[in-house]
């Protein structure tokens, strides 16, 4: 499995995901502003991975900027927290690191930096275990010979381990189940095509790439047994923010009576929000649609609406696969 990011001495080695699948290129970063830039341009992306990147970013900020007291950190913390708005893992990681700092009160620059690196690595290692746990729990929901549809990228590139939804698929495959994965290409930045198809092929998991708009047709043809996706934030009533297009998959699953599962670690559950409409939805730059990957594909100057995520209401979710086990969704009960 590939590492999206990794601590190397006092730097962070980061895989430039925007270059995949044509180039596997790592950069060693020692400035927290480069981490923020990487999060914004999606060189590192996926909710758990940006949480991990945020924690490493705080360590770099303290290291480079001679932070000598806990009160010097909030400016950097806020800057990192605001890199992207939708995935709650980002602010969760920043809060976790700063809480530990306030509890342990390390004295002096060296001690603060050491604690920040330690907590970032702890979050990273913990995510590896959370992915394994989700994989084990979720694989029980995947029958042998299942045809599984997934959306966006939720694998090692998006996490610190084997992935969320991808980790469930990977675990089922490891258990010897013969599964076929349909990967939505995931417009407009093609995380499904560039990243998920790449990871599936690397893992030797049989897969077919489809356009997002093929999913409903494929379901109507009887070609999908279940869908499984990740999440960027889940509210207390179970509404799910995930990559734009997820809601359409959930609606189509409901219409065709196909189970729709959401896999996410506890760090993606936001206990402070009830209704999914309260989740801030990131809007991306028009260029990502009108000149994605460098070629003009729409009339110059056309107005664009480009939300990066959508909300799937809890009523459309069959079950949540978490590190703690399977939690039934509202669709399950109806
Ligand atoms: O914009 P991205 O690529 O960061 O969006 C990622 C997703 O929507 C994933 O499905 C989500 O973060 C879960 S990843 C384990």
Tell me if residue 7 falls in helix, strand or coil.
strand
DSSP H helices, 184-242, are: 197-203, 215-220
Supply the pLDDT for residue 1: 85
Q: Quick check: 326 and 141 in contact, CB under 8 A?
A: yes
Q: Which residues of the chain have pLDDT under 70?
A: 332-334
Query: 186 in ligand 1 pocket by Cβ < 6 Å?
Result: no
Which one of 193, 243, 283 would you pick to mutate in the ligand 1 pocket, going by the greatest count of ligand atoms within 8 A of its CB? 243
Cβ neighbours for 97, distance < 8 A, ≥ 6 positions apart: 55, 58, 77, 116, 119, 120, 123
CA of 301 to the centre of ligand 1 (A): 28
Kindly list the strands in the beta sheet with 207-210, ordered across the sheet, starting from the edge strand earlier in the chain.
Answer: 207-210, 180-184, 147-150, 226-229, 260-263, 319-322, 325-328
CA of 226 to the centre of ligand 1 (A): 19
Supply the pLDDT for residue 121: 98
Cis peptide leading into residue 255 (ω within 30°): no
């995901």: which residue's tokens?
A: 17
> Crossing angle for the helix pair 47-64 and 109-139, nearest 10 degrees?
170
Query: 191 in ligand 1 pocket by Cβ < 6 Å?
Result: yes
Question: Is this structure's pTM higher than 0.95?
Answer: yes
């Amino acid at each position: 499995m590939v590492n999206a990011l990794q601590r190397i001495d006092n730097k962070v080695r980061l895989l430039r995901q925007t270059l995949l699948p044509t180039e596997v290129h790592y950069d060693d970063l020692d400035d927290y502003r480069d981490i923020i830039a990487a999060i914004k341009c999606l060189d590192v992306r996926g909710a758990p991975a940006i949480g991990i990147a945020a924690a490493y970013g705080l360590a770099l900020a303290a290291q480079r900027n001679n932070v000598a007291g806990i009160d010097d950190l909030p400016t950097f913390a806020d800057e990192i927290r605001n890199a992207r708005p939708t995935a709650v893992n980002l602010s969760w990681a920043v809060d976790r690191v700063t809480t530990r700092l306030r509890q342990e009160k390390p004295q002096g620059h060296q001690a603060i930096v050491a604690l920040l690196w330690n907590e970032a690595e702890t979050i990273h290692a913990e995510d590896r275990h959370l992915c394994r746990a989700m994989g084990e729990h979720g694989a029980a929901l995947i029958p042998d010979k299942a045809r599984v549809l997934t959306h966006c990228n939720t694998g090692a590139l998006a996490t610190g381990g084997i992935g969320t939804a991808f980790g469930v698929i990977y675990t089922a495959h490891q258990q010897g189940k013969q599964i076929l994965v349909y990967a939505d290409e995931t417009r407009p930045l093609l995380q499904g095509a560039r990243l998920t198809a790449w990871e599936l092929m690397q893992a030797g998991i049989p897969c077919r790439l489809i356009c997002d708009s093929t999913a409903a047709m494929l379901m109507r043809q009887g070609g999908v047994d279940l869908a499984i996706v990740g999440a960027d934030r889940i509210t207390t009533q179970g509404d799910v923010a995930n990559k734009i297009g997820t809601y359409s998959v959930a609606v189509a699953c409901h219409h065709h009576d196909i189970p729709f599962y959401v896999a996410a670690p506890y760090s993606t559950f936001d206990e402070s929000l009830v209704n999914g409409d309260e989740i801030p939805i990131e809007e991306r730059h028009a260029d990502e649609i009108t000149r994605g990957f460098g070629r003009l594909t729409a009339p110059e100057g056309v107005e664009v609406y480009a939300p990066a995520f959508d909300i799937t209401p809890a009523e459309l979710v069959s079950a949540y696969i978490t590190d703690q086990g399977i939690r039934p969704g509202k669709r399950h009960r109806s």
